[in-house]
Amino acid sequence: MSKVIVHIDLNAFFARCEEIKDPSLENKPVAIGHDGRGGIVSTCSYKAREYGVSSAMPMFKAKQLCPNLIIKPVDFHFYQALSDKFISFIRKYTKLIEIASIDECFADFTDTIKGVKDVPAFFKQIQYGLYKETKLKCSIGVASTKFLAKMGSDYKKPMGLTIIRKSDISRILYPLSIDKMFGIGKKTAPRLKELGIQTIGDLAERLNNDDPILVAEFGKFYSVIKDWVNGKGSDEVSIEPWDPKSIGNSTTLKEDTNNRELIASTFRMLAKEVSERAVRENKLGPTVQIVVKESDFKVHNKSFTLENPTNNADIIFDVAMKLYEKNFSNLTIRLLGVTLQNLIDQKDVAIQMSLFDYQMHEEESATKLLINELNRKMKKKIFMRASEVEKK
């Protein structure tokens, strides 16, 4: 028995939120995003799209295309509150909900739908119910797998409803351009086109013939994607709450720089933000990663793994700064970022041990602790090398 998996996507969500906040914006071209250096369109209203404005477009370009564009900064807290209302509304129908992002979810309606005569009407009713209650517009995809449901919700917007049965796959899915496919992005789509694959149907045919070029191209993803286009694939809706594996913060600087003071103060700010969020989430991480983007947009990462996981702002800052000074101090930089990785729950850390450690070093500064740790690691490495040489 196949399941009834639903994907619900809130249409032009950020823009819709702003229209709900200020109804005078309705039917006007609205874009959400930062209007300044490096600013891009995060989301825009359907009216703005008529001018050619689209997501991820530089704001200056959006303004060129649509001179009367209304630009609003991102109001994340307001959007989150509306997103919560959206999830609460769906929860009236099923508890099996997987929150995929702020504006979309998967839901398992297998039991909910039992005995329902007119399935399309049932989902239309949910769609209009959500609109009545929250003023949010959504598109709904209904299918037997998450992939097909996702493709369904994307098929018709806004306020679309697309039901994809197994027998509909070749009619609905296969004619779509390959770049409409979930999982195929800006890099892979052009490569596939070079291989003569224009549509999802073309891809399905080549996958089903086990084309060795595609086996090499997709690696581990091959069997997953082959299942997807054949109506198989995951139908498991995970109700687990979001559990972050990394917490990061990055910023594009006012102007490109190699000024050490400015870079240090930026790292301090980023480290503080990361630390505060990790503390709020009760998370500790052993690995600190920095990201730098050069003025020519070349991106570099460096990371260092501590012996003890941390969420201390000073330690994060010190590692970040050392990584920067060791690797990138001669670069002209556009963007800086700090990420704490491999997060674990505070409660899972050996509490006794960390308490002991803390008392032992209470009077020492975080910096000292860090330097000690770096030294220990360094000595260990040197010792290991020496013993290797000895062996030989």
CB nearer to DNA: pick between 114 and 187: 187
Residue 62's Cα: distance from chain center in Å?
23
Buried b / exposed e across 32-54, counting CB within 10 Å, b at 16+?
A: bbeeeeebebbbbbbbbbebebe
From 104, 255, 261, 276, the catalytic residue: 104
Residue 77 binding DNA, by CB under 7 A: no
**Which whole-number Å values give the CA distances from 206 to 174, 192, 195, in the listed order?**
12, 11, 10
Which of 118-126, 157-165, 193-201, 382-390 is the region at the interface with DNA (rule: CB under 7 A)?
A: 382-390
Least distance (Å) between residue 243 CB and DNA: 7
User: Please, where are the H alpha helices in 209-350?
Assistant: 212-218, 221-229, 260-280, 313-327
Specify whether the CB–CB gap between 33 and 41 falls below 8 A.
Answer: yes
Residue count of the chain:
392
Of the CA atoms within 13 Å of residue 104, those in its CB half-sphere come to 19
Number of helices (H), then strands (E), belonging to the chain: the values are: 14, 13
Number of chain residues interacting with DNA (CB under 7 A): 60
According to the binding rule CB under 7 A, does residue 175 interact with DNA? no
Candidate residues 23, 196, 212, 219; the one interacting with DNA per rule CB under 7 A: 219
Q: Which residue has the tokens 């959006």?
A: 62
Q: Which is nearer to DNA, 4 or 306 (CB)?
A: 306
Q: What is the smallest separation between the CB atom of 48 and DNA, expressed in angstroms?
A: 16
**Between 172 and 247, whose beta carbon lies closer to DNA?**
247
In whole angstroms, give the CA distance from residue 210 to residue 226: 9
For DNA, which stretch binds (CB under 7 A), given 117-125, 156-164, 195-203, 218-226?
218-226
How many other CB atoms sit within 10 Å of the CB of residue 12? 23
State the minimum distance, in angstroms, from the CB of residue 322 to DNA.
Answer: 12
Among 286, 308, 332, 366, binds DNA (CB under 7 A): 286
Of 112 and 149, CB closest to DNA:
149
Radius of gyration of the chain, Cα coordinates, nearest whole angstrom: 25
Strands (E), 232-384: 246-257, 283-294, 299-310, 333-341, 344-345
Nearer to DNA, 104 or 318 (CB): 104
388 binds DNA, rule: CB under 7 A:
yes
Q: Which helix (H) or strand (E) holds 140?
A: strand 138-143
Q: Would residue 104 show up in a list of annotated catalytic residues for this protein?
A: yes
- DSSP 8-class letter at 166: G
| Rounded Cα gap, residues 4 and 107, in angstroms | 9
Residue 184 near residue 197 (C-beta atoms within 8 A)? no
Rounded to a whole number of angstroms, the minimum distance from the CB of residue 121 to DNA is: 27
Residues 334-373 that bind DNA (CB under 7 A): 335, 337, 339, 342
d(CA 374, CA 365): 14
- CA-closest candidate to residue 12, choices 88, 3, 27, 1: 27
Q: Which of 27, 170, 177, 301 binds DNA (CB under 7 A)?
A: 301
Residue 103 binding DNA, by CB under 7 A? yes
The distance of closest approach from Cβ of residue 175 to DNA in the complex, given in angstroms and rounded to an integer, is 18
Determine contact, residues 352/299, Cβ cutoff 8 Å.
no
Q: In this complex, which beta carbon is closest to DNA, that of residue 95 or of residue 300?
A: 300
Interaction mask 28-57, DNA, x per CB under 7 A:
------x--xxxx-x------------xx-
- Which of 252/332 has CB closer to DNA? 252
Show contacts with DNA in window 238-277 (CB under 7 A): 244-252, 273, 277
Question: Which CB, 301 or 367, lies closer to DNA?
Answer: 301
Q: Does 120 bind DNA (CB under 7 A)?
A: no
- Helix, coil or strand: residue 306: strand
Instruction: Give residues in contact with DNA (CB under 7 A).
Output: 34, 37-40, 42, 55-56, 58, 60, 64, 100-104, 150, 181-189, 219-221, 244-252, 273, 277, 286-287, 289, 296-297, 299-305, 335, 337, 339, 342, 381, 384-385, 388
The catalytic residue positions are 104
